[in-house]
Chains A and B, each alone.
Chain A
């Protein structure tokens, strides 16, 4: 087994996803400790435009083929399986995402290499790699000692910082030699765009977020009043969207939008990992939840264990008072 760190790149509509850059950054830190290399595996079609973003890697293994233009678990999985067959990197990192999750399990079964999901931390102790994963809706963490064979690890986006400065290296590009792939049983048909929304919540500076704790659609009006007073917009965690109380474009989280507003107010949101992932980098996070043990309090800047339904109108009143004071 080498000391190299591999990263499976993810891209969408011609741009590398942030998770790839986050993993390249972390990969560099890990590889440096063991004098290993950072290698990125990039599958796609017309990927030349992405190469410049991968300057942080030492090696980029590229397969530039029409069949990789859109992601299908089968095509990407078969190619990666072939690449990994004769390679034994220390660890293979990918995002715990729509792309990475499918690949993680398929590859683990096909290559026999162990895998780990929902990773939020990677540390080296006594020369060994330890991964920490979050489970049970973020209520518990498990620290796992990675074995002495190549391990596949899916990392929660946003766990590691995106390197601030563009890396200045010149990676070596290697074309992946792939034998003819078998006739695929999975084919991409089309991309379904989200319904045209009223607001792009990724561009709003103040977000008032509601979760299950809001209890019913009636109480949304309280959140809307507060949002209006603050010059912001209401958004929600998945359960509220699934109930149909707000459109899909207002969903924050893993399968929704990722937001980084100046202020994120979370009402009745427990802070399950899928939601946290979508807003953890907000500048100021204030959470309100009747459960003082709600996972969201572990990461929020400020919190209050009071009833959101009681607090919402009081906050709106105070904000309006403050607005008047400021205006006068």
Chain B
């Protein structure tokens, strides 16, 4: 993304050190970082570029009162009012569960401690493809006999996008509220399907008063591989390549658990893309840039998601497996745009597991 920026990060840092603050703030640079974390992973000086510099730049733009991209503004305003960027009433946050086909207990109605609190998060609660995946996970958890509950209407965005967008005040407000809600209930651990929120809850919340035992769903399921394996009855017969998302990968190092799960599914042959694990290429949806698609499209010729799909197709795989709710839609668009429709399908790991378990 540095190519598309008015001032690439290295130049921007130099300009800031020279006191040319206003120029950097007025440029498009602050808004093109997708928070893939490659820079921070490679930086020999260990500079917090994507997590520190860019949110600070964005906060400075907002403080100046410069007009903000309307899609992003709407997403932030909606999160402030309704606890989700889509602007849907929080009362409807557990509506997806009504057609799950299995019981999905809501903590406030359960009134007892549970083993596992499943924080569903915004996209998996409201976005149709995300809701599908949530329903399938509910069935998997049920099949495994997991004692779990969700927060439902009490759940609010954990704030990853808001923090990275530079809206520190909104992020702090969300943290306060979330720590308060989580403090009401007793559970042994938290699992999440949204890697962005997982990363924030695991890495950022502790310093701000919220320390929890949390892991991504792929790790939770990988722990239960012995129990899971006999349930994976259906052979799927597909060559699959797995995309390491930035938040599960570089930021939290969960490289092997997703692969363990995929390898356990009968009939699946796993192949690797040229950029994998630490060197994986971001899908381009992080750091609230998922709301800046139009902004980015006007400035970037080769979208990251398109590049990644080409890498997937080059492996000869028919299936691109993902483990982040932002990715199916982005990659499916990219599949169409790069002319691979019918040749490459995008599936979340949960979808593949559920299909093999004949729960779909």
Question: Is the pair B293, A243 in contact by a Cβ cutoff of 8 Å?
Answer: no
Contact present for B293 and A216 (CB under 8 Å): yes
Does the CB pair B293–A307 fall under 8 Å?
Answer: no
Q: A216-B71, A243-B70 are in contact. Are A307 and B128 (CB under 8 A)?
A: yes
What is the chain A residue whose CB lies nearest that of B297? A218
The answer to whether the Cβ of B294 comes within 8 Å of any Cβ in the partner chain is: yes
A217 at the interface (CB under 8 A from B): yes
Distance between Cα atoms of A244 and B128 in the complex (Å): 26
Contacts of B70 in A (CB 8 A): 243-244
B293 to chain A: which residues have CB within 8 Å? 216, 218
| Distance, CA A115 to CA B297, complexed state (A) | 50
- Asked if A148 is an interface residue, CB under 8 A from chain B, the answer is no
Number of A residues near B (Cβ < 8 Å) is 9
Q: Which of A261-313 contact B (CB under 8 A)?
A: 290, 307, 309-310
Question: Which residues does chain B contribute within 8 Å of A218, judged by CB atoms?
Answer: 293-294, 297, 333
CA distance A251 to B142 in the complex (A): 49
B residues within 8 A CB of A217?
294
Within 8 A of B (CB), among A220-254: 243-244
B279-295 interface with A by 8 A CB criterion? 293-294
Where chain A touches its partner, the secondary structure class is loop
Docked CA distance A216–B296 (Å):
12
Do A310 and B128 touch across chains, with their CB atoms under 8 A apart? yes
List, in ascending order, chain A residues with CB within 8 A of B71's CB.
Answer: 216, 243
Closest CB in chain B relative to A73 CB, distance in Å: 32
B-side contacts of A307, CB under 8 Å: 128
In the bound assembly, the distance between CA atoms of A307 and B297 in angstroms comes to: 24
B65-95 interface bits toward A, Cβ cutoff 8 Å, 1 = contact, 0 = none? 0000011000000000000000000000000
- Is there contact, CB below 8 Å, between A216 and B128? no
Q: Complex Cα distance A307/B130, Å?
A: 13
B131 to chain A: closest residue by CB:
A307
Contacts of B294 in A (CB 8 A): 216-218
Write out the residue numbers on chain B whose beta carbons fall within 8 Å of the beta carbon of A309: 128
Chain A neighbourhood of B128, CB < 8 A: 290, 307, 309-310
Shortest Cβ distance from B30 into chain A, in angstroms?
20
A144 to B126, CA, bound (A): 38
Q: Please report the C-alpha to C-alpha distance between residue A59 and residue B120 in the assembled complex, in whole angstroms.
A: 67
Closest CB in chain A relative to B117 CB, distance in Å:
28
- Interface centre among B70, B71, B294, by most chain A C-beta atoms within 10 angstroms, is B294
A225 to chain B, nearest CB (A): 11
Per-position binary interface string of chain B over residues 113-140, scored 1 when its CB falls under 8 Å from any chain A CB and 0 otherwise: 0000000000000001000000000000
Give chain B interface residues in 251-300, CB to chain A under 8 Å: 293-294, 297
* Residue ID in chain B nearest A212 by CB atoms: B87
**In the complex, A177 Cα to B71 Cα: how many Å?**
55
CB neighbors of B among A180-222 (8 A)? 216-218
Q: Which residues of A contact B (CB under 8 A)?
A: 216-218, 243-244, 290, 307, 309-310
9 nearest interchain CB pairs? A217-B294, A307-B128, A218-B293, A216-B294, A243-B70, A216-B293, A216-B71, A218-B294, A310-B128
7 A-B contact pairs sorted by A residue (CB < 8 Å): A216-B71, A216-B293, A217-B294, A218-B293, A218-B297, A243-B70, A307-B128
Q: A218-B297, A243-B71 are in contact. List 13 more A-B contacts (CB 8 A).
A: A216-B71, A216-B293, A216-B294, A217-B294, A218-B293, A218-B294, A218-B333, A243-B70, A244-B70, A290-B128, A307-B128, A309-B128, A310-B128
